[in-house]
Structure 1
């Protein structure tokens, strides 16, 4: 089962917990071993130092006693039991036992370790090591020290001393158990904190993953909560939400444009089909001599001509839009009087406004500054905007044209304001887009091809100006555009 474990299939949170657990376990293990070895070494050195001091004390004691007895050891006692927990063995210069004291129930005096250590001391060396102490309860190692005894530089004997009253393994085991318990407690606390930390780290990432999965399924309104901490995860969540906002906006815009294109194609197909059907019917009627009356035949021919002109205008609008957007339209720029051009344009459209009961007037000052523009293109802009205003203003309404110097002092701002039906707020940002019709019920026969305002924006942009609209539903619309002021000498630019 362990061989089948695939780490690549494990979640990030599990990986973090496993990594943290491995690091904590490794650190605690290394620290425990180091502490245990350090404590054992310290305990051994302290015990060894204590035994060395005891050995020096008793060696001095027995040396003085040797002097007091006339430089002889006197009676030899052999092995004697003692209530003292220490083991002591004294030998003379020839290695003969003087005495060996050992605690009750111990059997250490005959251990070869004592003899080896004492022989080493009789050669003038200090011996240290472990003595295997045997008791009815068991055996364990005990530290020992063996030292030579000298008078006037002459070795008179050797003393072996050991202190087996405490099993060093018990102390070491107790220390190791304490270290292990402490390590487990610390490890558990750190693991709990690590579990909480990894949860706080992975929760935002999990939310991001779920949100990204939803967005992959086309649910672009998905957002993630932003963590309160101003760290990388908070910045990532905020950036994701901003990206989601942009994607949702772009996708909605693409969908809207696609819908507009589909509607345009449907409208163009309808607008083309209507005159073509009429042309076909009138042509067949003329060709088959169905219409005999000369006057009727002439009217039919004129109808065919009007339908052809309608098709020509539609094709011309499409060609002009393509040319303007491609940047290949040449503008004949020259100083232009807006007041004169507006008066000429109003004269063209004024009869239609009078027939519709609409008042149209210009409030532009005669001394308005000249602009640098192509008069034919700006006349087309004015006619487009005025015709739009006329078609959307009911009888009894009014249309006003005015202009003023822009705030920058480098351009003139012109606006056409009507008292018509107005534009819905949701449609207002899109009215200058290609093929867009705020009123979906209008067709090419009643509302144009949907390119008029797009052409207006393209022409004004080609002049280096801007166009914008303001409208209140039921009160009217105001469409404004700006044009740069005239230069000192006329020029021609290729846009």
Structure 2
């Protein structure tokens, strides 16, 4: 429920904020309008009062001759001049009201006519602008606010007797004349109207407006709160509770269609329709799950049976593979002894025969070659059997590859020369010493060079290169021939046991297909790699890389 109350509260706060902003703007506008209206009212009053005071001044000015002459026509100054009359009337008016009225001049003859700061500013404004006839504004006098108004007074013809030329000459009242001309600025009528009553009325009106606005806001919020509760949050809360029951597994939950808004009716119908579809889908899904569970159980049982059969077959294959390895190891070992005896007896017979004929020499050579091939085959089988049995280990020692490749070079060069093959031998001078099994590497290099000789025809070329790859911390042995080459399909499987490029090779060149497989095993025992690049009819390149950073064996007790 909190979620919906929060939505409702946020909506109320938002709406109330809008109302407050609008009412505040309205109050500011009303305040501004009230100030403008008050100022216009005060200005109208000031203009009316100043007009009356100006009329008194004008009346006195125009009737000076009548006042200062007797009935016989003799001049007699009676002391009732325009300024005295105006000041007296202003004083009487100020006494019976809280208004302030006075006449101020640029060159006053009386201390009462001296301008204060506001009046001086007004007189300066009149002096600077001959078209300005009034000057007004708000001012503080003795802690109270007043509306100050000044009305321009220009010199009239009837006033020149006292204020005209010649300047400095005493007039009838005994004051020196100012030397003014008609139309010159002489002074101003000054009014001070209290505005405290107006401000108090404005504040009272503003407080009443604020109170009324607050009541309106509270009333709007209450109405909106009730409307939201009745039309939005309560219906949504019923939908929420229905969804909670639905989530808990009560798929038969349905909402009651009530007489609310059209949107809530659509939402209720949509919820009930969704619930019907979900219940139907759930029931259908349960049936499918049950059916598929049954099928899965049957499939698992069948899979378990097949797995058992597969394990049984794998066991038989493992036994047969072990029997094969044991048989090959046993037979190879058993064949090696009589073969060695046969080779020894052949050598003895050859020595006893003495100098053989050409035909006998050819026969003895073929017999010795076949014996060596058979012995190499038996050795390869025994080597692979030991590797598969995990009995073959590396005998790491510090070696120099020159010592390993030197005897091999001495053996291969005569064979290549006899076959008419050009042999290039390039061993880098910077070959480092490394820890490796020299005997196993010798067998790898010997097997690769023997293959190159075997598959390269007379007139061909074989290049043997060995170099140090310092950046890779490795030694690279590469042998390139111009022999029959290998197809891309065959190159991917020539390192498998008992495999050659195709059947015709074993028939034409002989071999068991174990040599390259054994090379791969021995190289990988060193942590190295062996690869081939070849093209049929263009020769082959075999590359062997051996790590140069193998660690020496740790002696027991260290």
Q: By the TM > 0.5 criterion, same fold?
A: no
Larger Rg: 2
Shorter-chain TM range is 0.3 to 0.5
The TM-score normalised by the length of structure 1 is 0.41
For CA contacts below 8 A with separation 6 or more, give which structure has more relative contact order. Answer: 1
Larger strand share, 1 or 2: 1
The TM-score normalised by the length of structure 2 is 0.37
Larger helix share, 1 or 2: 2
